[in-house]
């Protein structure tokens, strides 16, 4: 053998994969169920704390594997209770995750890539460019580490956890690892996120939307729309030149929805750019025939970005037009703006704010 074999990363593996691993160590399959339960349901990271496993096995696991190598480098806490986690990966790369508490549930926003290749002109992550994709362990460890920092390792969470894949990166450009993470998070015997509590957001990677439509286990889907004509969308989303609006909307129209499911469309409100009454009417026309709901997101500023948010009375005026025409919409309250944790502000900053 040349050198030391790299330890197997266990977090994010399916129970079947953990079982294969256990069997390869010469252990019984029920040990795999115990290990999976400790990692996925109880969020335990150190083998020493898995006291249901014999000491000798814990030592063998220690020598051959690791639950996850992701570490919390820093936590920034907002005046609204939002926490931004700066996480360090095994190669020193940094990603961010955002924990947003509410009275009856928490929402955790997780990243799918280090940086992002899409270079949307209104988003800070685009300024970074793409460094690399995350693997399944790195995707799901963000949820585990955040919950453990807030509630403690092994402690049952007091209420529902929702997950949004809306952090750094374009999840549909890291399709296989992201879908493994989706299946891990939704496993009722593990993390047990409820199906309607997991949402993936895409800027519109059309062929992958068709792939997603064929998956047996899928997240809820959100589309970052923000512009309803190609001229404007090309300026804001360079990817629109590759997958123009008509193709994107065609994919959305054919996307299968559950009984009470709606497709979510995110619309970032940019002052003087996409927020006129005419834009609102164009949005209604674009979404006609789709069971849709719209999230109106005030633009979160950053010194590097050349846009400002529409004023609140304009956002309300815009919403009124959608409501009159029967298109449901919600105005999102920005969270964690003071610590650079809000939508479009994730840039792995080491200070609380820019």
Q: Should residue 174 be labelled a site residue for ligand SAH when binding is judged by CB under 6 A?
A: no
In 79-171, the DSSP E strands lie at 83-88, 94-101, 105-109, 113-115, 130-133, 160-165
The binder of ligand SAH chosen from 141, 174, 300, 340 (CB under 6 A): 300
Distance between the two ends of the chain, CA-based, in angstroms?
49
Q: Choose which of 174, 177, 201, 286 interacts with ligand SAH (CB under 6 A).
A: 201
Stretch that binds ligand SAH, among 127-135, 174-182, 201-209, 240-248 (CB under 6 A): 201-209
For residues 310-344, b (16+ Cβ closer than 10 Å) or e, as one string?
A: beeebbeebbebbeeeebebeebebbbbbbbbbbb
In the range 235-254, which residues lie near ligand SAH by CB under 6 A? Answer: none
Q: Does 40 engage in binding with ligand SAH (CB under 6 A)? A: no
* 98 in contact with ligand SAH (CB under 6 A): no
Find, among 118, 114, 127, the residue nearest to 302 by Cα: 127
Residues 255-274 that bind ligand SAH (CB under 6 A): 266, 268
Please identify, among the stretches 34-42, 136-144, 178-186, 294-302, the one whose residues bind ligand SAH according to the rule CB under 6 A: 294-302
Alpha-carbon gap, residue 179 to 239, rounded angstroms: 22
Of 9, 27, 94, 96, which residue is the catalytic one?
96
Tell the burial category of 281 from Cβ atoms under 10 Å away from its Cβ (0-12, 13-18, 19+).
Answer: middle
| CA–CA gap between residue 142 and residue 87 (Å, rounded) | 8
Among 15, 144, 179, 343, binds ligand SAH (CB under 6 A): 343
**CB 313, CB 327: distance < 8 Å:** no
Nearer to ligand SAH, 19 or 142 (CB): 142
Minimum CB distance to ligand SAH, residue 197 (Å): 17
Residue nearer to ligand SAH on the CB measure, 32 or 342: 342
SS3 call for 223:
strand
Interface with ligand SAH by CB under 6 A: which residues? Answer: 122-123, 166, 170, 201-203, 224, 226, 266, 268, 297, 299-300, 343-344
Could you give the residue numbers annotated as active site?
A: 96, 343
């Amino acid at each position: 053998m040349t050198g030391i074999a790299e330890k197997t990363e266990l977090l994010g593996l399916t129970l079947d994969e953990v079982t294969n691993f256990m069997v390869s160590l010469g252990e019984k399959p029920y040990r795999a169920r115990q290990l999976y339960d400790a990692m996925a349901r109880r969020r335990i990271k150190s083998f020493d704390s898995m006291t249901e496993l014999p000491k000798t096995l814990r030592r063998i696991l220690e020598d051959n594997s690791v639950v996850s190598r992701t570490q919390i480098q820093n936590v920034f806490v907002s005046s609204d209770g939002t926490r931004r986690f700066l996480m360090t990966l095994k190669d020193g790369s940094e990603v961010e995750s955002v924990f947003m508490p509410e009275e009856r549930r928490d929402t955790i926003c997780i990243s799918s890539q280090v940086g992002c290749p899409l270079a949307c002109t209104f988003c800070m992550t685009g300024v970074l460019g793409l460094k690399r994709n995350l693997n399944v362990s790195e995707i799901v460890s963000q949820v585990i580490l955040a919950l453990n920092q807030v509630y403690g390792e092994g402690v049952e969470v007091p209420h529902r956890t929702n997950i949004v894949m809306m952090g750094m990166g374009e999840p549909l450009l890291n399709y296989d690892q992201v879908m493994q993470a989706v299946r891990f998070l939704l496993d009722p015997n593990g993390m047990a996120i409820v199906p309607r509590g997991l949402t993936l957001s895409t800027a519109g990677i059309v062929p992958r939307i068709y792939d997603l439509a064929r998956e047996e286990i899928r997240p809820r889907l959100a589309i970052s729309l923000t512009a309803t004509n190609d001229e404007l969308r090309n300026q804001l989303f360079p990817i629109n030149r590759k997958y123009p609006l008509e193709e994107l909307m065609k994919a959305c129209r054919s996307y299968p929805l559950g009984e009470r499911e709606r497709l979510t469309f995110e619309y970032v409100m940019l002052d003087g750019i996409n927020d006129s009454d005419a834009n609102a009417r164009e949005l209604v026309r674009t979404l006609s025939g789709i069971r849709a709901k719209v999230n109106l997101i005030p633009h979160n500023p950053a010194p590097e970005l050349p846009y400002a948010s529409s004023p609140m009375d304009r956002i309300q005026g815009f919403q009124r037009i959608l409501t009159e025409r029967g298109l449901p919409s919600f105005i999102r309250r920005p969270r964690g703006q003071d610590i650079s944790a809000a939508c479009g502000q994730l840039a792995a900053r080491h200070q609380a704010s820019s």
